[in-house]
């Protein structure tokens, strides 16, 4: 019998990996000629700097001003990665992803979710993704959203009552993220599952507590080891990743999915088009297999934790309105005019309030919670540019050849602040840029207001209209009853927490995401 020394095995594994990467490296078309900031670390590249800082955006904007709308940064293990905010380049990547699947999500961004929860809409690609999205789309149709508006309003009314009770108790300054998190969780629970988290009622709920801040707490300040492990997944061959998924266990997620599904399938109302109703119908019609339905439910539980995306966006909007009280008053004037026609506003009436919707768009522009779309090229390709770039050796390029496997960061944050798109005041709050005759850019992008905050194409956020309606209802209700202002000396920063940005008070990021505001009842 042959005994293999453990250390020798590890050395052999490392040697194999080094050989694999070396061969791959020699065969690659290089993007080393693209200019970019010098790497601060051989092992970690720029990833440690970007993931462990107190304020997002400063480096991105500084590098974009100096190197242009396409530049190169280093990942772990000296991996060259492109950062793009050029609208033509982003448009090409998105349209190619939609039509030919030439750009897919990076392996590290999908592998761990697949491993834990199964292949659902969040991570599926190609024909599987198209089929699943077609089924789930009906749960977010315009007609379905109109039915859900009453649920939005009920939860918003509860929020108003809760705030009044807090003010009556003598408090004046609140972390409004506590409020927006509770109302967003109750809304998505009722709308997607007909499940009440009872967040606004103050009742204990084990599932709610497990989901609170799951993204923020789990992804802030990753260690060097965690960064390198994540980067390693990007390089592993697809066959090895598929094998690892096969030997993984997803028992807990599947069990939870089956329990939720079984509770509804026996007691569901005919024609119910919430998310669970749609999945039940798809399974019955043979459009989705049992394992796909289970994966959707397991990933939807993950997405429920994404209620924090809407909650955080609402928190930023209240912060900007507190900093610009004149804009609060403009929205109140629109509310008064709309309520002259109808005490209960319809979705069309919310959509017909230009300044309300302009502030929502401006907030999404300045504060995209997911600032980057990560993609990888599945074949050798060439990225078109709206403006030529100058390489490190002085050449002028009108397009950039890239190799198969190239990692690309589409910088939504930088695109949303390009002066060439949004004007010379692109880094400032100005909702009026969305009022009146808005000039359309040469390369229109995004699902809403030419913004990339919800993504674009077939991989765009499936619930973006849901989120907009939710924000409309809640902001109108809050401004109808309360006034918001900034406490003295407050400075809220954009704090990077993994793949998202959250608001944190300067110098107090270790206390978690916060938007403390002074609140008073309107006289």
Binding residues for heme: 461
Distances (CA, A) of 334 to 139, 359, 424, 467: 30, 12, 28, 21
Side-chain-facing half-sphere of 31: CA atoms under 13 Å: 29
Question: Residue 369 has which token pair?
Answer: 């919670």
- Label residue 272 exposed, middle or buried (CB < 10 Å: 0-12, 13-18, 19+): middle
Distances (CA, A) of 11 to 4, 16, 289, 352, 457: 11, 9, 43, 66, 45
How far apart are the C-alpha atoms of 117 and 161, rounded to whole Å?
38
Give me the long-range contacts of 206-213 (CB less than 8 A, separation at least 24).
Answer: 211/185, 211/301, 211/304, 211/305, 211/307, 212/181, 213/308, 213/512, 213/513
How far apart are the C-alpha atoms of 510 and 507, rounded to whole Å?
8
Task: Answer yes or no: are the C-beta atoms of 503 and 494 closer than 8 Å.
Answer: yes
Binding-site annotation, residues: 461
CB within 8 A of 136, min separation 6: which ones?
Answer: 121, 275, 278, 279, 296, 462
Cα–Cα nearest to 491, from 257, 322, 338? 322
Cα–Cα nearest to 498, from 318, 305, 298? 305
Question: Residue 348 has which token pair?
Answer: 């069309």
Task: Answer yes or no: are the C-beta atoms of 179 and 162 closer than 8 Å.
Answer: yes
Cα–Cα nearest to 515, from 497, 494, 496? 494
Q: Are strands 372-377 and 482-485 parallel, antiparallel or unpaired?
A: unpaired
How far apart are the C-alpha atoms of 474 and 479, rounded to whole Å?
9
Question: Residue 226 has which token pair?
Answer: 């965690």
Question: Can you state the angle between helices 464-481 and 142-168, rounded to 10 degrees?
Answer: 30
């Amino acid at each position: 019998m042959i005994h293999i020394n453990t250390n020798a095995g590890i050395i052999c594994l490392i040697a194999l990996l080094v050989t694999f990467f070396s061969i791959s490296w020699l065969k690659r078309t290089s993007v080393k000629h693209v200019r970019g900031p010098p790497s601060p670390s051989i092992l970690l590249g720029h990833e440690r700097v970007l993931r462990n800082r107190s304020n997002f955006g400063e480096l991105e904007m500084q590098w974009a001003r100096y190197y242009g709308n396409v530049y190169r940064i280093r990942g772990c293990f000296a991996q060259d990665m492109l950062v793009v905010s050029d609208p033509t380049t982003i448009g090409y990547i998105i349209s190619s992803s939609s039509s030919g699947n030439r750009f897919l999500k990076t392996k590290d961004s999908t592998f761990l979710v697949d491993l834990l929860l199964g292949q659902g809409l969040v991570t599926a690609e190609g024909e599987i993704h198209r089929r699943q999205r077609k089924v789930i789309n009906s749960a977010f149709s315009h007609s379905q959203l109109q039915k859900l508006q009453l649920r939005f309003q009920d939860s918003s009314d509860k929020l108003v009552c809760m705030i009044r009770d807090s003010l009556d108790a003598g408090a004046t300054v609140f972390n409004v993220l506590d409020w927006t998190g509770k109302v967003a969780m109750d809304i998505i629970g009722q709308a997607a599952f007909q499940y009440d988290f009872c967040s606004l009622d103050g009742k204990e709920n084990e599932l709610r507590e497990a989901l609170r801040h799951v993204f923020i707490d789990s992804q802030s300040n990753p260690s060097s080891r965690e960064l390198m492990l994540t980067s390693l997944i990007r390089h592993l061959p697809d066959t090895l990743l598929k094998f690892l998924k096969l030997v993984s266990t997803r028992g807990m997620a599947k069990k939870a999915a089956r329990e939720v599904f079984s509770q509804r399938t026996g007691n569901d109302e005919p024609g119910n088009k919430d998310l669970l109703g749609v999945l039940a119908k798809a399974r019955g019609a043979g459009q989705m297999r049992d394992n796909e339905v289970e994966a959707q439910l397991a990933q939807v539980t993950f997405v429920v934790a994404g209620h924090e995306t809407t909650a955080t966006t609402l928190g930023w909007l209240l912060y900007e309105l507190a900093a610009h009280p004149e804009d609060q008053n403009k929205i109140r004037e629109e509310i008064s005019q709309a309520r002259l026609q109808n005490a209960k506003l319809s979705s069309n009436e919310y959509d017909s309030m230009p300044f309300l919707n302009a502030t929502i768009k401006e907030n999404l522009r300045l504060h995209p919670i997911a600032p980057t779309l990560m993609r990888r090229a599945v074949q050798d390709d060439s990225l078109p540019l709206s403006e030529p770039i100058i390489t490190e050796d002085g050449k002028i390029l009108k397009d950039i050849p890239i190799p198969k496997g190239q990692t690309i960061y589409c910088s939504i944050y930088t695109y949303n602040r390009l002066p060439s798109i949004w004007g010379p005041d692109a880094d400032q709050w100005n909702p009026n840029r969305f009022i009146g005759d808005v000039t359309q850019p040469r390369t229109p992008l995004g699902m809403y207001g030419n913004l990339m905050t919800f993504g674009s194409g077939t991989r765009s956020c499936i619930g973006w209209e849901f989120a907009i309606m939710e924000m409309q209802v809640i902001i109108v209700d809050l401004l109808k009853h309360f006034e918001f202002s900034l406490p003295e000396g407050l400075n809220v920063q954009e704090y990077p927490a993994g793949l998202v940005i959250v608001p944190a008070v300067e110098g107090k990021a270790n206390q978690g995401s916060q938007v403390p505001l002074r609140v008073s009842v309107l006289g």
